[in-house]
């Protein structure tokens, strides 16, 4: 029920039906309080004067009063009863009627079906009657009124549903387009229908999406050209280092080689992060990847200890290799020379890849921040290595494959970075 009412069109439709119900109740209340009904008492008093002229006087005998009721009944087409001013029944014709209420003080309707009226004659007598199958003038019985209102509400409700649904369907298409744009489909546009607020919102979305697409494409083009322009002088610098004289200081050669390698790595990771941010989900391009073999290869390259089971999953082998390599290199870099332990297994029907070290660990307040681009722990130094994009790329690649990564403390000291991926 709650999930059903989460839809906007359902809430609008229910609000419309509620408004119809409130309108019906107000209409019924207004009908009861209308001036027409307020005049009913005056009409009965006028009718009581006519009845007094047609009936025998109060001093007539009971037989004469009975004869008067018999003569007047065909004209009234009603069952009648005549009471004295003291409430004693004097005469009666037709079916038995409800007894006169001693508390009755003015002319009015006593209710029932058909409705029973009580007329106080000018001489104090009471005439009680019920007309057969003829409600009082201007009166619509309450059940009939409610039935009419229910039919009106039903007709309006049926007619309103397609109108409400048409409006909210456009909003749903707009929502899908916003989600697609957020997922990286920069060419997403939404059809503009009508000339109302929703149509203007769709037009604004299309303009914003076009502007975003232009900016992102310009950024990607700039990065591509910048990478080419930067790697060309880096290649020349690398060649210059190789051509240094044999008697050049080894420390200088090592420092230059290290800086050139770090710059090259930074350029590559910026380009990869940009591509992951701006491209759409490529799950349809995934292929089967032997994750066990991939993790074993990267662990052996870094001298890490591996414990794993045979796991294959659909994915991008290049991105998955980068993710595993970044995790292991991060553990080696910050592990203080301790062994790096890598485990790969199924837990609760999901794939868990954990890379653990025995370093100084990560404070709890920093465990989520370290996955932000270019973020370093307080006190971290550039000489410690890394450009601040490795763990950010790990999270992006994990999310691209339907998973995520967390940093957890390791029992006995150190940290464990655990990537959770959906099963094959």
- Which tens digits make up the pLDDT trace of 79-118? 898 998 888 888 899 888 888 887 778 887 776 566 788 8
Residue extents of the structural domains in the chain: 34-139, 198-278, 283-421
Give residues with Cβ within 8 angstroms of 177, minimum separation 6: 188, 189, 190, 205, 209
| CATH architecture under which domain 198-278 falls | Orthogonal Bundle (1.10)
The predicted structure's pLDDT at residue 1? 44
8-12, 183-187, 294-298, 402-406: the lowest-pLDDT one = 8-12
- pLDDT above 90: percentage of residues in the chain: 19
- pLDDT band at residue 8, thresholds of 50, 70 and 90? low
Q: What is the pTM of this model?
A: 0.50
pLDDT in tens, 209-226: 899 888 878 877 777 677
Q: SS3 string of 280-334?
A: CCCHHHCEEEEHHHHHHHHHHHHCCEEEECCCEEEECHHHHHHHHHHHHHHHHHH
Average pLDDT, the chain: 79
Top pLDDT among 318 and 388 is at 318
Q: Can you tell me the mean pLDDT for 183-198?
A: 81
169 vs 311, more confident? 311
Q: 109 and 115 in contact (C-beta within 8 Å)?
A: yes
| Ranges 42-46, 383-387, 413-417: which has the least confidence | 383-387
> What would the pLDDT profile of 325-382 be if each residue is shown by its tens digit?
999 999 998 888 889 999 999 998 899 999 999 988 889 888 888 888 878 777 655 5
Instruction: Please report the pLDDT score of residue 4 as a whole number.
Output: 53
Q: Is the model's pLDDT at 68 over the cut of 90?
A: no
Residue 61 has pLDDT above 50, yes or no: yes
User: Which pLDDT score is estimated for 296?
Assistant: 94
Task: Output the CA–CA distances (angstroms, integers) from residue 169 to 175, 267, 375, in the order listed.
Answer: 10, 45, 43
Strands 305-308 and 341-347: parallel
Average pLDDT score over residue span 67-82: 86
pLDDT value for 42: 57
Ranges 20-34, 164-178, 272-286, 361-375, most confident: 361-375
Q: What average pLDDT does the segment 164-180 reach? A: 81
Instruction: Examine the pLDDT at 259 and tell me if it is beyond 50.
Output: yes
Assess whether pLDDT exceeds 50 at residue 49.
yes
Is residue 370 within 8 A of residue 396, CB to CB? The reply is no
What is the pLDDT confidence band of residue 120, given thresholds at 50, 70 and 90?
confident
pLDDT for the residue 275: 67
pLDDT 10s digits, 275-314 = 676 555 555 578 899 999 999 999 999 999 999 889 999 9
pLDDT at 145 over 80: no
Provide the pLDDT for residue 282. 58
What percentage of the chain exceeds 70 in pLDDT? 80
User: Is pLDDT above 80 for 45?
Assistant: no
Q: Please identify, in words, the CATH class of the domain defined by 283-421.
A: alpha beta
């Amino acid at each position: 029920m709650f999930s059903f009412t989460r839809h906007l069109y359902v809430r609008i439709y229910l609000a419309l039906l509620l408004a119809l119900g409130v309108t019906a109740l107000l209409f019924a209340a207004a009908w009861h309080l209308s001036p027409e009904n307020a005049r009913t008492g005056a009409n009965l008093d006028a009718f009581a004067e006519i009845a007094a002229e047609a009936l025998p006087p109060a001093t007539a005998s009971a037989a004469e009063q009975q004869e008067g009721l018999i003569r007047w009944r065909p004209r009234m087409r009603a069952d009648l009863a005549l009471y004295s001013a003291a409430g004693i029944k004097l005469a009666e014709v037709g079916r038995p009627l409800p007894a006169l209420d001693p508390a009755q003080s003015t002319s009015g309707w006593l209710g029932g079906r058909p409705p029973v009226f009580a007329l106080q004659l000018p001489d104090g007598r009471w005439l009680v009657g019920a007309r057969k199958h003829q409600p009082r003038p201007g009166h619509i019985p309450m059940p009939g009124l409610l039935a009419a209102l229910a039919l009106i509400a039903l007709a309006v409700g049926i007619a309103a549903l397609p109108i409400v649904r048409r409006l909210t369907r456009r909003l749903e298409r707009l929502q899908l387009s916003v989600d697609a744009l957020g997922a990286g489909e920069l060419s997403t546009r939404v059809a503009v229908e009508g000339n109302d607020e929703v149509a203007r919102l769709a037009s604004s979305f299309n303009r914003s999406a076009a502007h975003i697409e232009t900016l992102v494409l310009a950024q990607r083009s700039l990065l591509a050209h910048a990478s080419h322009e930067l790697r060309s002088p880096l290649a020349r610098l690398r060649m210059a280092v190789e051509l240094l004289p044999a008697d050049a200081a080894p420390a200088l050669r090592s420092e230059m080689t290290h800086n050139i390698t770090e710059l090259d790595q930074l350029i590559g990771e910026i380009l990869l992060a940009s591509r992951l941010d701006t491209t759409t989900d490529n799950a349809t391009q995934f292929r089967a990847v032997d994750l066990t073999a991939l993790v074993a290869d990267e662990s052996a390259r870094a001298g890490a200890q591996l414990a794993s089971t045979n796991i294959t999953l659909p994915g991008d082998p290049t991105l998955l290799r980068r993710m595993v390599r970044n995790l292991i290199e991060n553990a080696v870099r910050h592990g203080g020379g301790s062994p790096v332990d890598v485990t790969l297994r199924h837990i609760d029907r999901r794939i868990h890849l954990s890379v653990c070290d025995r370093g100084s660990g990560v404070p709890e307040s920093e465990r989520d921040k370290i996955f932000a681009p270019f973020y370093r722990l307080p006190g971290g130094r550039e000489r410690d290595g890394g450009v601040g994009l490795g763990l950010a790329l790990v999270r992006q690649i994990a999310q691209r494959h339907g998973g995520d990564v967390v940093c957890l403390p390791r029992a006995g000291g150190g940290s464990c970075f655990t990537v959770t991926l959906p099963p094959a």
